[in-house]
A and B are shown apart, each in its own frame.
Chain A
Amino acid sequence: MTMKIIPILLSAILCTNAFASPRTFVSAASGNDLNPCSRTSPCRSFAGALAVTDADGEIIVVDSGGYGPVTIAQSVSIVSPAGIYAGVTVMSGVGIVINAGDTGRVVLRNLALIAQGTATSAIDADTVSTLSIENCTISGFTTNGILFDPTTANSSLAVTRTIIRNIPSIGINITGGSQSTNGATATIDSVHLYDCRTGVFVTYALASISNTIAAGGLDNGYFAYIGSKVSVSESVATNNGTGFTAGFGFMMVSRCEATSNTTGIGAYEFGVIDVSDSTIALNTTGLYEEALTVISSRGNNTLQANTTDGAFNQSYSAQ
């Protein structure tokens, strides 16, 4: 009898973590990473759950607490339902590393990534096809809130309803290649960037930014750097060094506000900015163009109440 029971028990123990599931669970109240990460026996950490989650599966947070940094090397969704606080406290390095492969799809929903100590970036995407960051909060990282610099060709980033605060470097840093674009694109909507030294910085990539607020950046609200095209609409840049900036890149600003910045809209280093239906007010300098740069108006902007308004140096017509 004993001889029969022992193999059965051994099998049960061995099998506990042997099979991945399409949906796994984590709990700060009752989780343990020795568990199978099921609904009834949840794991304690994202890293523990990810190891037993199918590719394209999902990890669900059951209750409020901290779930730890994690490296993601597969397609997965990490989901905290509304009503649950899922924290990731990062003491050093990167909070969530995404190395999901060139076909990987990753969703991060309703997570709060908080830096302590020397944490560098909340989220760093190295390889991924699509990365969606939804309803997250990111605070206090020293280098980047989100660093999207995948080697994957034609990758895409979506950031929605997310708050990024107190980043002494760059809130969202999008870099599609080092010499030429690798087809990276980004969609940023309904994001609040508070006190990020530069809110959004785009290099060799295309970015669409809407309904977004960049406030309190010592350097820039939105920056179109080399090889980039950045469209910003229905968005605000306030109390930054320069609100909307193009240096080597192209930016389209429509229905936006540039307010209370040192410079509202600034073009540097061959940068080109087209502006439509926007308000540039309460800045120290409204518009600033270096030599060989363009800030072009559709003739429907409010440029008033700046210490120095400046002037558009080109115009374009509505079609």
Chain B
Amino acid sequence: MRNLTIATILFCAATLSAAPRTFVSAAAGNDINPCSRALPCRSFTAALALTDGGGEIVALDSGGYGAVNISQSVALISPEGVHAGITAQGTDGISITGGALNVVLKNLMLSYWYQIGVDTAGIRDTAGGSLNVEGCTITGFASGIYFAPTLSGARLYVMDSIIQRGYSFTHYGIEIHTPNLAGRAMIDSTQFYDAEQPIYLQNAQATVRDCIATTGEDGYEADFQSGMVVTRSVAKDFAYGFFANNSSTIVVNRCLATRSSIYGVAAFNSCNAYVSGSSLVDNAQAAFGSATGAARTRGNNTVQGNTNNGVFTIGFFTH
């Protein structure tokens, strides 16, 4: 009789069906559980295996839930007030691979302890489809978010997040590479602290609003046929605050570039920077256009208190 009971339990465990919503708990979870509300799992990885495509995993209480590889559409959700940590050592925090997926990461805390020479990302997306990062904190990876989808038309959406250096090195805050794939990003209400390059685009377009970036090398950079429109955002303590390079465009509206050690706004090789309604204050030089680049002003900017208050290449018309 006892054997039969055990066999039944094992059978049931082995045939657990996936659910649209699963749960993890650091306090009471166990990865042999069915990841239900009453019997939550311990890790995101175990819960993911029992979550329907397009389903969601909810963290019930504060704790660490482990690095995870995602290859299906899913939402990983920690309610406000719950600290759902992912501490990675020598790996990415969250890696997303596969086809056109819709992945949502909400209110997660990803952190990495310093390891020289290891190229890690808090979130690495080489799939396609859409990635939503909402209310996350990412600390100390080589890249906070590395977005290099292998399908065309992929979208990255980041809001209400913090990407920072913490104890270890962070080179890129958000790094987007989409050669010939028309990758698009919308980034708002996000802070970048001590990332060498807070937002870096290659062959992509991004719209940025209400962001703050402090302390690094290149602030907001559109590189290699990229376009970026930045509004109501701050670049403080960079070498270059707002930066277009290699046949790219950057549009700067109602922004602040301050304490740049070289240029507040810069347009290099075959680039245009369009600056409107912005303040360029306390920079070594307010603006710069290279021989083939043009830093353009709409004539409504505040350019004061810079070591060199020049030099816009040219103006542009209002419409």
Contact = CB atoms under 8 A, between A and B. Distances in A.
Nearest to A281: B251
Interface in A236-288: 236, 238-239, 257, 259-260, 277, 279, 281-282
B155 A239 contact: yes
Given A64-B79, A83-B80, A238-B186, A165 B227 contact: no
A311 B317 CA distance: 12
B251 A305 contact: yes
Given A66-B21, A213-B188, A281-B251, A259 B205 contact: yes
A138 B52 CA distance: 18
Contact of A114 (B37, B56, B188): B56
Interface string B265-293: 00000001010110000000000000000
Contacts of B298: 302
B77 A305 contact: no
Contacts of A259: 205, 207, 227, 229
A163 interface: yes
B236 interface: no
B167 interface: no
A65 B22 CA distance: 9
Interface residues of A, number: 47
Contacts of A166: 102, 130
Given A166-B130, A216-B155, A114 B318 contact: no
B81 interface: yes
B227 A304 contact: no
B58 interface: yes
B160 to A, nearest CB: 9
B229 A114 contact: no
Given A114-B56, A116-B54, A282 B79 contact: no
A215 interface: yes
B251 A216 contact: no
Interface string B240-253: 00000000010101
A302 B21 contact: no
A89 interface: yes
B274 A302 contact: yes
B268 to A, nearest CB: 16
Contact of A236 (B132, B186, B251): B186
A297 interface: yes
B21 A87 contact: yes
Nearest to B160: A192
A304 B58 CA distance: 44
Contacts of A281: 227, 229, 249, 251, 274
Contacts of B249: 281-282, 305
A260 B319 contact: no
Given A64-B79, A82-B81, A83-B81, A215 B155 contact: yes
A194 interface: yes
Interface in B182-215: 184, 186, 188, 205, 207, 209
Contacts of B60: 63-64
Nearest to B102: A166
Contact of A301 (B82, B132, B318): B318
A260 B157 contact: no
A93 interface: no
Report, nearest first, the 7 A-B pairs whose CB atoms are least far apart: A83-B81, A303-B319, A85-B79, A215-B186, A239-B184, A238-B207, A282-B227
Given A238-B207, A281-B274, A304-B251, 14 more contacts: A66-B37, A83-B82, A165-B104, A194-B132, A213-B159, A213-B188, A236-B186, A236-B188, A236-B209, A238-B186, A259-B207, A281-B251, A282-B249, A297-B319
14 contacts: A85-B79, A87-B58, A116-B20, A213-B188, A216-B155, A236-B209, A238-B186, A257-B207, A257-B209, A260-B184, A260-B227, A281-B249, A282-B205, A282-B227
